[in-house]
């Protein structure tokens, strides 16, 4: 690995650790330089501002998420794809707790310079859920939606599936980390199975 | 309303506005005093520390949530209760966006002095979902769970239902706020209806 790339990685990792503990607002470029063990000149050579640094961190995180979901549904359709994606997402969250924390904290903010690019990537991640949901049949009896903002009904349903998985993961990772991923996946999939309705 | 209570309310509202914009770490007691229009002496008379102030704010928020869910399921059981709670939760989130943002940001933190009391109240809120889920029938084919941490399978399922609703609300409030609560509720309930599986 080239030296510059190693420095970039060290900076990104340090920023993630600090922001997971103190929030992005509570993290300064000085803190990041100290934690990464790099001079401030080197820090600013790699990232011209704190905004650029955290933008790259968050965009990388959503990219990893999308790739994980895409791999999980490869060769599968419909409910089987959804099952596989729920499991893969739980595993990803359990392996990247600091990033999951940071992204949960960012999810409702509207005052960030990276808002737009993060939104676009987020839609890409949700689209991975949209495809198998579409394969289970076009929702009938639902309002048509289809707004320009990508919040049509299929995206809302995808968001709900994602949210069901995410919140299951939070309970698990924060309060009961010894539990197996299969246990947690079973509970999340139960919530989506319709057995609550029948 | 007694004068002290009015001051307390003004301080809590100011702290909420500031923290929703800048995070708790990015909010100082000085900022809160200025925004609330109170002297620092008065601020510290009402809340002895920043931790105490945000603890009360978050605990109040979870209390409101629990009460809202309890009212929504009053007189209903099973899926009908769940439907009503999903709608009520969406309405509550849409009316309290600043608090919803703040609570989303706090949800994965483990370094707060209020962690324990927030966890207990959070379990109370989830318990409102647990009861109607239990009424739909004891989950069969699921691991038994029953840990001391309250993360048994029913709580995990309740967390998934809550998460499905929360994430549906986020998409809605951030990206498509003109959409009606009924549209969003329909999408969330679709995700939970089992039609993804059939």
- Kindly identify which residue of chain B lies nearest to residue A198, measuring between CA atoms: B136
Task: Say what the pLDDT of residue B158 is.
Answer: 92
pLDDT, average across residues A164-169:
86
Task: Say what the pLDDT of residue A139 is.
Answer: 63
Over the stretch A70-115, which tens digit does the pLDDT of each residue have? 999 999 999 999 999 999 999 998 898 888 877 776 765 666 777 7
CA–CA min distance B41, chain A (Å): 25
Cβ distance A23 to B25 less than 8 Å, yes or no, reads: yes
Position A92 in a domain: yes
Over the stretch A15-59, which tens digit does the pLDDT of each residue have? 999 988 887 878 999 999 999 999 999 999 999 999 999 999 988
> Which residues 75-114 on chain B approach chain A with CB closer than 8 angstroms?
78-79, 82, 97, 100-101, 104-105, 107-111
Task: Say what the pLDDT of residue B18 is.
Answer: 92
For B44, the token pair is 């510290």
> Which residue segment(s) compose the domain that A155 sits in?
51-192
Q: Are B132 and B106 members of one domain? A: yes
Task: Say what the pLDDT of residue A99 is.
Answer: 83
Position A198 in a domain: no
Task: Say what the pLDDT of residue B107 is.
Answer: 65
Phi/psi of residue B75, each to 5°? Answer: 80, 0
Q: Are B74 and B113 members of one domain? A: yes
Q: Are A33 and A109 members of one domain? A: no
Over the stretch B43-80, which tens digit does the pLDDT of each residue have? 999 999 999 999 999 889 889 999 999 999 999 999 99
Task: Say what the pLDDT of residue A4 is.
Answer: 45
Q: Are A90 and A137 members of one domain? A: yes
Domain with residue B18: its CATH number is: 1.10.10.60
Task: Say what the pLDDT of residue A33 is.
Answer: 97
Task: Say what the pLDDT of residue B4 is.
Answer: 45
Task: Say what the pLDDT of residue B110 is.
Answer: 64
| Confidence tier at B139 by pLDDT (50, 70, 90) | low
pLDDT averaged over every residue in chain B? 85
Q: Are B44 and B69 members of one domain? A: no
Q: Are A30 and A125 members of one domain? A: no
Position A77 in a domain: yes
Position B186 in a domain: yes
Task: Say what the pLDDT of residue A16 is.
Answer: 93
Q: Is the pLDDT of residue A1 over 50?
A: no
Boundary (domain end) residue, out of B12, B27, B48:
B48
Task: Say what the pLDDT of residue A168 is.
Answer: 83
Q: Are B44 and B60 members of one domain? A: no
DSSP letter at B65? H
| Confidence tier at B109 by pLDDT (50, 70, 90) | low
Tally the domains of chain A: 2
| Contact A176/B at CB under 8 A | yes
Position B197 in a domain: no
Over the stretch B164-188, which tens digit does the pLDDT of each residue have? 998 888 778 877 888 889 989 999 9
- Min mean pLDDT across A93-102, A178-187, B108-117 is at B108-117
Cβ-proximal residues to B12 (8 Å cutoff; 6+ apart), any chain: B53, B56, B57, B60
Q: Are B59 and B118 members of one domain? A: yes
Q: Are A30 and A83 members of one domain? A: no
Position A197 in a domain: no
Q: Are B43 and B70 members of one domain? A: no
Q: Model ipTM? A: 0.81
Q: Are B117 and B142 members of one domain? A: yes
Distance of alpha carbon B141 from the chain centroid: 30
Boundary (domain end) residue, out of A48, A72, A87:
A48
Q: Are B11 and B81 members of one domain? A: no
- Kindly identify which residue of chain B lies nearest to residue A157, measuring between CA atoms: B187
pLDDT averaged over every residue in chain A? 85
3-state secondary structure chain A: CCHHHHHHHHHHHHHHHHHHHHCCCCCCHHHHHHHHCCCHHHHHHHCCCHHHHHHHHHHHHHHHHHHHHHHHHCCCCHHHHHHHHHHHHHHHHHHCHHHHHHHHHHCCCCCCCCHHHHHHHHHHHHHHHHHHHHHCCCCCCCCCCCCCCCCCHHHHHHHHHHHHHHHHHHHHHHHCCCCCHHHHHHHHHHHHCCCCCC
């Amino acid at each position: 690995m080239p030296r510059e790339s190693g420095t970039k990685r060290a900076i990104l990792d340090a920023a993630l650790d600090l922001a997971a503990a103190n929030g992005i607002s509570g993290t300064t470029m000085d803190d990041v330089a100290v934690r990464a063990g790099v001079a401030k000149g080197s820090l600013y050579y790699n990232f011209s501002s704190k905004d650029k640094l955290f933008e790259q961190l968050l965009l990388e995180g959503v990219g990893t998420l999308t790739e994980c979901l895409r791999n999980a549904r490869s060769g599968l359709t419909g409910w089987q794809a959804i099952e596989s994606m729920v499991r893969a997402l739980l595993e990803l969250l359990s392996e990247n707790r600091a990033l999951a924390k940071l992204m949960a904290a960012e999810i409702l903010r509207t005052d960030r310079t990276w808002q737009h690019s993060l939104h676009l990537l987020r839609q890409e991640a949700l689209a991975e859920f949209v495809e198998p949901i579409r394969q289970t049949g076009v929702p009938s009896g639902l309002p048509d939606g289809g707004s320009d903002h990508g919040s049509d009904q299929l995206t809302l349903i995808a968001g709900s599936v994602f949210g069901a998985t995410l919140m299951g993961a939070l309970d698990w990772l924060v309060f009961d980390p010894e539990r197996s991923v299969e246990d947690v996946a079973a509970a999340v999939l139960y919530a989506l199975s319709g057995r609550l309705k029948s």
